[in-house]
């Protein structure tokens, strides 16, 4: 067995010449694939290539690091259940000490309703979730919310509660995946990669540091996946939407340290405690592409980008933190100076941005009775072999849940790469051919 090895900007001598599988991209998707291949076929010679000088240098840096189990589409529900199982048994799956490192906090997700229509929607959600076996998800009426979470205030008249949900340290998770892929070599700081294809078959990966011969390559480069795909002569069917988050060093005293992730009503601002005294906020607000030129392929039809702008800092909306706080204050009935209306939240903010990567309209649509196609914003990632190039695999389009779904996403990818059957039949829904599945649409 080769010792697990990290090499930064390797010399020609340090470069592996051959590999069974090369994975490009060292975020949650790529490192989970590395880990899962090792578990499914120990000793497989894998090489992971990361552009940055560290792993997890993409969207995970801006993420809230949350996970939840309440997914109404069966494939997603199964993917998250399996992944949470890995998180909860981290020492077993990710090596001794992993439980401590990933610092799992299962404090729940509380989706709040402020009027009867919203309460009815949450009740219908819970009904659907129970139908597919997620019986741990609870509908809480006003009394129950007041009893368990009285500090949210009397504006909240009902809630949906996922008690298994929570958050973890995503950077530690990524490194645990990598460290536990015992046969892997990890190459950091590789600035350019090209997938070399001959007669529609992958034959290797070319980098400025040297060539690696391989018949199997996995693209797991998040928002840069299209660019890497083009080197193999294919145009990957994904689009990008910038998403923001911010962390504060302060939190109003009523919001307890052991409180859950709290999600407001539409347009769904959300917040959870961070560290001892702070909080982390998000809001998937509709992004307008006015700041980005056509060279990034912005397209009004799907309000998304084709190629990423790096670094994405210029896409940050400086009003974002105050807008999220104002939304939360309004929904929870906090006046100026109270709760989310307290300006202390705005001091010392760390404002972050990254991309959500989605399937594009060519692989996420439903067909109506007249045979007309209707694109929709699918939550399903794309984990499959490419239909046109033998040996080219993808683990992309992990939208806003690529951390919470990483273990199962890695296992699905490993099954495809190793030619093994899928652990769950519904995992086929992450393939190219599944253009639509029930209940797979824009959920937080």
Binding test (CB under 6 A) with ligand FAD, winner from 24, 90, 271, 437: 24
Q: Which is nearer to ligand FAD, 144 or 194 (CB)?
A: 194
Closer by beta carbon to ligand FAD, 222 or else 273: 222
Which of 401, 412, 429, 431 touches ligand FAD (CB under 6 A)?
401
For the chain, the first-to-last Cα distance in angstroms comes to 42
Of 10, 16, 26, 260, the one binding ligand FAD (CB under 6 A) is: 26
The only residue of 222, 259, 312, 407 in contact with ligand FAD, by rule CB under 6 A: 222
Using CA of residue 195, residue 196, residue 198, residue 202, what is the dihedral sign? Answer: negative
- DSSP assigned state of 416: H
CA nearest to 64, candidates 234, 216, 278, 209: 278
Residue (28 or 391) nearer to ligand FAD, CB: 28
CA atoms within 13 A on the CB side of 188: 14
Residue 78: cis peptide before it, omega within 30 degrees of 0: no
**Contact between 106 and ligand FAD (CB under 6 A)?**
no
Residues 294-353 that bind ligand FAD (CB under 6 A): none
Helix, strand, coil share of the chain (percent; to 5):
30, 25, 45
* Nearest-angstrom CA–CA distance, 357 and 154: 37
Smallest separation (angstroms) from ligand FAD to the CB of 49: 5
Q: Could you give the residue ranges of the DSSP H alpha helices within 204-319?
A: 225-231
> In terms of CB distance, is 270 or 334 closer to ligand FAD?
270
3-state secondary structure of 231: helix
Shortest spacing between CB 290 and ligand FAD, in angstroms: 20
> One symbol per residue from 422 to 441: x for binding ligand FAD (CB under 6 A), - otherwise; what is it?
--------------------
Q: Backbone dihedral region of 189: left (phi > 0), alpha (psi from -120 to 50 degrees) or beta?
A: left
Looking at the DSSP assignment, which residues form a beta bridge with residue 6? 186
Minimum CB distance to ligand FAD smaller for 329 or for 382: 382
Q: How far is the CB of 24 from ligand FAD (least distance, A)?
A: 5
180 binds ligand FAD (CB under 6 A): no
271 scored as a contact of ligand FAD (CB under 6 A): no
CA–CA dist 82, 98 (Å, integer): 17
222 vs 264, beta carbon nearer ligand FAD: 222
The contact pattern for ligand FAD, residues 351-390, with x = CB under 6 A and - = no contact, is ---x-x----------------------------------
Give bridge partners of residue 350 from the DSSP assignment. Answer: 247
29 binds ligand FAD (CB under 6 A): yes
The two three-digit tokens of residue 105, written as one number: 């906090």
193 is a site residue for ligand FAD (CB under 6 A)? yes
* 282 touching ligand FAD, by CB under 6 A: yes
The interface mask with ligand FAD, positions 224-263, x = CB under 6 A, is: x---x--------------xxx------------------
Place of tokens 């084709």: 306
| 186 closest CA partner among 382, 62, 38 | 38
Among 37, 80, 173, 404, binds ligand FAD (CB under 6 A): 404
Minimum distance from residue 167 beta carbon to ligand FAD (Å): 7
How far apart are alpha carbons 171 and 194 in whole angstroms?
A: 27
CB closer to ligand FAD, 130 vs 291: 291
Positions 30 through 69 that interact with ligand FAD (CB under 6 A): 30, 49-52, 56-60, 62-66
Tokens of 212: 């690696």
Positive or negative, the CA dihedral 440, 441, 442, 444 is: negative
Tell me, letter by letter, the H, E, C secondary structure of 107-172.
CCEEEEECCHHHHHHHHHHHHHHHHCCCCCCEEEEHHHHHHHHHHHCCCCCEEEEECCCEECCHHH
Report how far residue 416's alpha carbon sits from residue 21's, in angstroms, rounded to the nearest whole number.
Answer: 12
403 sits near ligand FAD (criterion: CB under 6 A)? yes
Q: What is the three-class DSSP state of 381?
A: coil
Stretch of residues binding ligand FAD (CB under 6 A), selected from 27-35, 101-109, 232-240, 295-303: 27-35
Query: Which is nearer to ligand FAD, 158 or 409 (by Cβ)?
Result: 409
Residue ranges that bind ligand FAD, judged by CB under 6 A: 24-30, 49-52, 56-60, 62-66, 193, 220-224, 228, 243-245, 282, 354, 356, 398-404
């Amino acid at each position: 067995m080769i010792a697990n090895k990290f090499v930064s900007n390797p010399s020609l001598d340090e470069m592996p010449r051959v590999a069974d599988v090369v994975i490009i991209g060292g975020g949650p998707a790529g490192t989970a694939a590395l880990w899962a291949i090792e578990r499914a076929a120990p000793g497989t010679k894998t090489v992971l290539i990361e552009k940055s000088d560290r792993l997890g240098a993409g969207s995970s840096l801006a993420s809230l690091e949350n996970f939840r189990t309440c997914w109404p589409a069966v494939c997603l529900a199964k993917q998250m259940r399996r992944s949470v199982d890995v998180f909860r048994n981290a020492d077993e799956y990710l090596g001794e000490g992993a439980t401590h490192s990933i610092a799992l906090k299962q404090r729940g997700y509380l989706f709040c309703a402020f009027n009867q229509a919203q309460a009815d929607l949450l009740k219908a959600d819970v009904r659907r979730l129970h139908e597919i076996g997620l019986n741990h998800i609870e509908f809480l009426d006003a009394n129950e919310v007041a009893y368990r979470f009285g500090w949210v205030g009397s504006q909240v008249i009902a809630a949906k509660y996922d008690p298994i949900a929570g958050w973890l340290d995503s950077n530690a998770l990524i490194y645990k995946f990598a460290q536990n892929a015992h046969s892997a070599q990890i190459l950091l700081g590789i600035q350019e990669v090209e997938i070399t294809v001959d007669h529609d078959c992958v034959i290797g990966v070319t980098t400025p540091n040297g060539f690696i011969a391989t018949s199997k390559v996995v693209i797991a480069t998040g928002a840069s996946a299209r660019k890497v795909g083009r080197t193999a002569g294919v145009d990957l069917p994904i689009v990008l939407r910038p998403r923001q988050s911010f962390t504060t060093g302060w939190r109003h005293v009523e919001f307890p340290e052991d409180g859950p992730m709290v999600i407001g009503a539409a347009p769904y601002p959300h917040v959870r405690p961070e560290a001892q005294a702070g909080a982390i906020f998000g809001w998937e607000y509709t992004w307008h592409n006015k700041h980005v030129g056509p060279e990034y392929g912005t397209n009004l039809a799907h309000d998304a980008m084709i190629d990423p702008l790096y670094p994405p800092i210029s896409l940050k909306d400086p009003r974002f933190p105050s807008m999220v706080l104002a939304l939360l204050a309004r929904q929870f009935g906090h006046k100026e100076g109270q709760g989310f209306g307290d300006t202390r939240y705005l001091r010392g903010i760390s404002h972050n941005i990254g991309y959500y990567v989605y399937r594009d309209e060519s692989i996420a649509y439903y067909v109506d009775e007249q045979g007309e196609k209707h694109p929709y914003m699918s939550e399903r990632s794309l984990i499959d072999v490419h239909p046109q190039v033998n040996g080219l695999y993808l683990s992309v389009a992990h939208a806003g849940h690529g951390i919470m779904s990483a273990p199962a996403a890695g296992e699905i990818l490993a099954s495809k790469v190793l030619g093994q059957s899928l652990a769950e039949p519904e995992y086929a829904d992450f393939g190219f051919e599944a253009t639509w599945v029930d209940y797979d649409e824009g959920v937080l």
